[in-house]
Amino acid sequence: MAEKLGIKLPKNLGGVVYSFRYRVNLPESITEKAKKGYEWIIRGVGRAQYKFVLTKEANFLPNPNLAKTKIPDSTTGVVSKYSYDDEQALLAKIRYNRLIDIFTGVTCYSLQNHLRLTLSEMGQVETDEIYAGIDKQGVHYIFPVQAKGGTDKIGAVQIEQGFSVCSEKFPNAIGRPIAAQFMGDETILLFEFVLTDEGVRVSSEKHYQLVHPDDLSDSEVKELN
């Protein structure tokens, strides 16, 4: 088809699919064919197989009116000095400050970074980090975390994959996918999701601002956000 249209093929053909699934917007010639109130996503349906699917919400944006919750920054100094403003730095700050524990109310432990798996119905998927957790009742949880830089999109496709990773690879634990993103000003956005009949939906959202302990007043530690 590329030859017929006179288009030079890229070196990595799979990169084209990856870009439209996770990074860039679909062209108008495709988006205009979605019915009103729906958006296209590209869902994996097997090894190197994909299909277009209509969903109510393809990407998730932060609520600009949500209050910030200040957290004393526990990131080790040497890590802060040499880390970049990227996904790995974001995951490190989440880990050092135990933000998954705070956000979910569950005691959590980092299980593995960059977990790459092949799922029976989706093909190959990758999760930035997996946490295992246990609550006060002894219930076990798995938290697949997708981390995004400031300009990348938090998309429904990767959250769907998180639910599938939980159900197929960790069937004896409750799966609760999380998405994280830098928002600037040392603020970290965290989303938790649920899977409904209409697709992926946000069930909880918090904005955590990491601050020096001296910048946290006595009144702020008693406020409910």
Look up the pTM and report it.
Answer: 0.86
What is the C-alpha separation between 169 and 119, in angstroms, rounded? Answer: 9
Do the domain assignments include residue 63? Answer: no
Does the residue 61 lie in any domain?
no
Q: Which one has a higher pLDDT value, 10 or 93?
A: 93
- Any domain includes 100: yes
Domain housing 45 = 2-56
Nearest-angstrom CA–CA distance, 203 and 66: 14
On whether both 32 and 128 belong to a single domain, the answer is no
d(CA 225, CA 212): 19
Number of folded domains that form the chain: 2
Q: Are residues 19 and 107 in the same domain?
A: no
| In the predicted structure, residue 224 carries a pLDDT above the cut 70 | no
With a cut of 90, say whether residue 162 has pLDDT above it: yes
Give the pLDDT mean for 182-211: 92
Q: Which residue has the higher pLDDT, 202 or 46?
A: 202
Mean pLDDT across the chain: 90
Identity of the highest mean pLDDT range in 70-84, 99-113, 172-186: 99-113
Looking at per-residue confidence, does 173 or 10 come out higher? 173
